[in-house]
Amino acid sequence: MFHHMYFKVCSIFTSVGAFTTIIHFHMCVYMSAVFFFIVKFFPTFITQIFLGFLWFFIFLCRFFHIFLGDTSRI
């Protein structure tokens, strides 16, 4: 259930990254790969939820930087 929801949300995020720039697309893929790698080694439900929120927060920061024009820190 959680993995299915994660990949569904992840596909939305990566498509948003693809519409902005190649760099952002690669960043979304990179964060997804890291998240998936950590989930494989820390398969507890609490860890997955924590990492999910962390990943989502990182994405939101980068997402708002795109539209605010702050590309220097990306």
Q: In the chain, pLDDT over 90 holds for what percent of residues?
A: 0
Q: How far apart are CA 39 and CA 49, in angstroms?
A: 10
Say if residue 74's pLDDT is above 50: no
Binned at pLDDT 50, 70 and 90, residue 67 comes out as low
In this prediction the pTM is 0.30
Q: Tokens 């939305």 — which residue?
A: 12
Return the pLDDT at 8.
62
DSSP letter at 69?
Answer: T
Q: Report the phi/psi class of residue 21: left, alpha or beta, with left for phi > 0 and alpha for psi in -120 to 50.
A: beta
Under DSSP, the state recorded for 72 is T
Distance CA 55, CA 21 (A): 19
For 13-51, write each residue's pLDDT tens digit: 555 555 555 555 566 677 777 777 766 776 676 776 777
Question: Domain limits of the chain?
Answer: 2-68
